[in-house]
Each structure stands twice: as structure tokens, then as C-alpha cells.
Chain A
Amino acid sequence: MIQIKDLYKKFGRNQVLSGVDLTVQKSGIIAVLGPNGSGKTTLIKCILGMVIPNKGTLIVMDEPVKNNWRYRKQINYLPQIANFPGNLKVKELFTMIKDLRQQPDQQDDLVSLFGLKPFLNKKLSTLSGGTKQKVNIVLTFMFNSPLLILDEPTTGLDPASLIQLKKLIQVEKAKGNTILITSHIMQFVEEVADEIIYLLEGNIYFKGSVAALKSKTGEKDFEHAIAAITTNASNV
């Protein structure tokens, strides 16, 4: 599904990714974790072709990423900051993305699931942060794709919507799709993730299940286990 070999990316003098090797074969929920500035978003954006790596190869859905756009038909992406063109109505935004993708969608179900019906005719600039994030989620889950990439999906969501989001993620997993998630909410990660990829200083420091991480660090609590590898990397 995703094959990354020897991936390097530098922004100016700042080396963000230094030789990442990663293979994701099976379906399920994979959490990409790491402290701020460890290259999570950069890695995701490399997979999406938004950031162009300095070195290394990326193969996503059996297609090379370089100078390619077709493979993105099989990816749904939820960006970190839900900012949309402000003078567009919610309904128009949905129509536009559907027009561009030309794939069967589940817009109506998702709109009622998140209670967005009253907002359909509102301009995007007038929505609150949480509502924008719901629009963002609807856009992401609207199409059925084998790979979903969610960058901080829980930002700004109220508890009810968070429950719906978790359900949606489980539905996608049941369909046999792969879901790549970044999050700083450890409780959320522990609840949903099948596998964890821990990035540190531009490299993959740990890859495995939650249980494996706990036994490796000797911590019973997941949050503490994560904190342990962050602060005390040499001891692990």
C-alpha cells in the first residue's frame, strides 16, 4: 500500500526527514506519533505529493508518487487546519469536490450524522472552528477509498462528534481500508490504533502495537510510555 525508502526532506537548513523507511502492507488503523516538529505532517504530505522530497522513493497504491496525481483517486485526506475558501457555501464546496472527483459519495448520510443540514447554505467563513472540522470530516469520508489520511482529526470536535468520528473510522477499518492518523490525544490513539509509528528527529524510532510499546518501555500507561520514549530515548 505504502512503500517508502530512504526518504529525506530539508526545509532550508532544517532537516525534517532523514532517511525514513516505511512499509505499510495490511489494512487497519496506523497512528503516526511524535513530538512537535518530528516530521509527521511532512511525512504525510510527502505521501500525498504536496511536499516534494529531496531524496528517496515513495510508492503509494502501487504507483510512484513523483510527478503523479492519479494515485490520489484512492486517497482521502483530512488536512490539519480546516481552512476553506470563505465565500463558498458549504453545499457548494461539497458539490465542487464531488465534481472534481467524479466518484460515488455518501454526502447525505454524513451531513445528517454530524447535524450539518442547517449549515449547508451558510458561507464557510461564518462557521465556527468545530463546524469547519465537521465539514472537513464529511469531505474526507464522503468517498470510499482504500487509504485514508487523517491529520489531527479530533481538533475542535465536541464529544458527540468525536464518538461519531470514531465510529466512522471503525467502519472504514471493517471495510478493509487503511487509515493513517496523526494525533496528540493519546487516549484517542490508544483506543483506535492497531499499530504505532513513532517519529523522532526525522526518523522512525518505533513501529509496533500499543502492547509492544508498553512492554518495551516498561510503562503500564500508554501516555507515559509515549512520554518515556520522547524524553528518555537513549534508555529504551
Chain B
Amino acid sequence: MHQMFKILKYSFYDLIRSRWSYVYFLFYLLLGFVLLFLNNDVSKAVITLMNIIIVLVPLIGTIFGIMYYYNSREFTELLLGQPIRRSHIFLGQYLGVAGSLTLSLVLGLGIPFLLYGLFKSNAIWDFGLLLVTGAFLTLIFTALSFNIALSHENKIKGFGYAVLLWLFMAVIYDGLFLMSLIIFEEYPLDNFSLIATMLNPIDLSRTLILLKLDISALLGYTGAVFKSFFGTQWGFLISIIMLCLWTGLPIWRLVYKAKRKDF
């Protein structure tokens, strides 16, 4: 464990010295300020932020994850010859990437909200949940991109698959989902849409935040099904459990793959 935190520390330092971490941080900082001080309504700002976060966070997590893995190949090989457990090398690097991205997100959005007087507002829990979901999405998509990178020696291929994964989860999946709802509208679709939502972490995050915000107008069909099926409390709990599974499985496979790979 001790060794893993050292790797994490070095990966983390390496990343927070990179220009892109600052760009990412400044983007959220700017976004937070603009939304709050132009909108003057925390709840609305949270909804707008949600729409941005659930698309942007997976994209950045995927791309940073895949780029970091390929760029640090030499570093990894150097470490593999040292007395360190393999799983610690890869978990350390993964947590370094996911951690620095999460930090950019939390600080970038947290600072403007704090300055705005978040603690006096009722929206603090909504906002907190937004950050938690953002952190989950970062963890999930960074882990997925590490998985892709571990399975593909070819950089271009790996990068392509990673972008395709994001495109599928963020855009194509919803399209397919909606189309099947229309095509099969004669049939009972409650279970189908429940499962379909859980199988995509982006949809899951959206449903989770909307359940918390409790704005039925924005819930949409799936949200409504979720709510009527589980109730707000259960729906909330089940979505969190699913997000944990979505985080845990790719991390498990990452360690499994790393242990069996030749370098």
C-alpha cells in the first residue's frame, strides 16, 4: 500500500505540473463564475452544470486516461523492474490521473460556489451530489480508458476505441434507447428502460441528479419510471450502488489485465 501511494504521488505531481490540468481547472472555474453570477439562481446553475458535466467529464476522463497510459509507458517499464507489486504500479497511476482530474473539477466548481455563498443556500446538497457524480464519472471513464489502453499496444487503435466508447455512451446510446422506446411503444417498457439506464453510467448519473433535484418535469420517461418503481429514496440508493459497481468492475479488470500482461 505504501508503495502504491508513492506511485500515486509521482503520477499526481507529474499531472498537476501539466498545462492541461490547469486548462481543465480554469475551464470549470470560469464556467462556475459565469453560471452563478449571470444566472443568479443556484438551482438553475446546477441543472446547466449537470448537462455539461455528464458529457464533458467522461470525455476528459477517457482522453486523459488513455493519453497518460501511453505517454507513461517508459515510466511504467522502469517501475516494473523495481521491487513493486504490479497492481500497485497501475492502481497508483490510475488513481493519480483520476485524482488530479477530480481535483480540477471539485476546486474549479467549488471555488465560485463557495464565493457565491453556497453554505447559506439550500442547494448545497444538490451541488454536492453534482460533484460526487462528477467524481464517479471521472473514476469510471478513466478506468475504462486504462482498460482499453492495457488491451491495445497500438496507440492509434487504443485512442480510437476510447473516443468511440465515449461517443457511444454519451450520444449513440441515448439515440438507440429513444428509438427502441418509440419502436416498441406498444409493449411495457418499464423494466427495459430501468435496465438500459443502469447499463450506462452517464444516463445513471443524469437520473440520479434529477431524482435528487426532484424536478418531475425534467425527469423524462426513464426518471419517472425510476421514481415510481423505486421511490426517490430507493432509486437514489440503487443508482449509487450501480455507480459503485461501474467504478469497481473496470478497476478490478484493470488489475487483472495488468497482472497478466507482458511488457
Binding site for B on A (CB under 8 A): 11, 45, 48-52, 67, 69-73, 75, 77, 79, 83-85, 87-88, 96-97, 99-101
Contact = CB atoms under 8 A, between A and B. Distances in A.
Contacts of A75: 81
B262 A52 contact: yes
Given A11-B262, A75-B81, 4 more contacts: A73-B83, A77-B81, A85-B74, A85-B75
Contact of B18 (A67, A87, A97): A87
Interface in B36-86: 72, 74-75, 77-86
Contacts of A50: 77, 80-81, 262-263
For A73, A79, A100, which residue has the most chain B Cβ atoms within 10 angstroms? A100
B70 to A, nearest CB: 13
Interface residues of B, number: 24
Interface string B201-241: 00000000000000000000000000000000000000000
B83 A72 contact: yes
A79 B77 contact: yes
Nearest to B72: A85
A48 B77 CA distance: 11
Contacts of A70: 83
Interface string B77-98: 1111111111000000000000
B191 interface: no
Interface in B1-60: 3, 6, 10, 14, 17-18
Interface of B: 3, 6, 10, 14, 17-18, 72, 74-75, 77-86, 259-263
Contact of A97 (B82, B86, B262, B263): B82
Contacts of B77: 50, 79, 83
A51 B263 CA distance: 6
A69 B14 contact: no
25 contacts: A45-B262, A45-B263, A48-B81, A50-B81, A50-B262, A51-B262, A51-B263, A52-B261, A69-B83, A72-B81, A72-B82, A72-B84, A77-B81, A79-B78, A79-B81, A83-B74, A84-B74, A85-B14, A85-B75, A87-B14, A100-B3, A100-B82, A100-B83, A101-B82, A101-B83
Contacts of B83: 69-73, 100-101
B97 to A, nearest CB: 14
A44 B118 CA distance: 59
A88 B82 CA distance: 18
B87 to A, nearest CB: 10
A15 to B, nearest CB: 14
Given A73-B83, A99-B6, A84 B78 contact: yes
B81 A69 contact: no
A54 to B, nearest CB: 10
Given A45-B263, A88-B14, A69 B78 contact: no
A52 to B, nearest CB: 6
A49 B84 CA distance: 11
A69 B262 contact: no
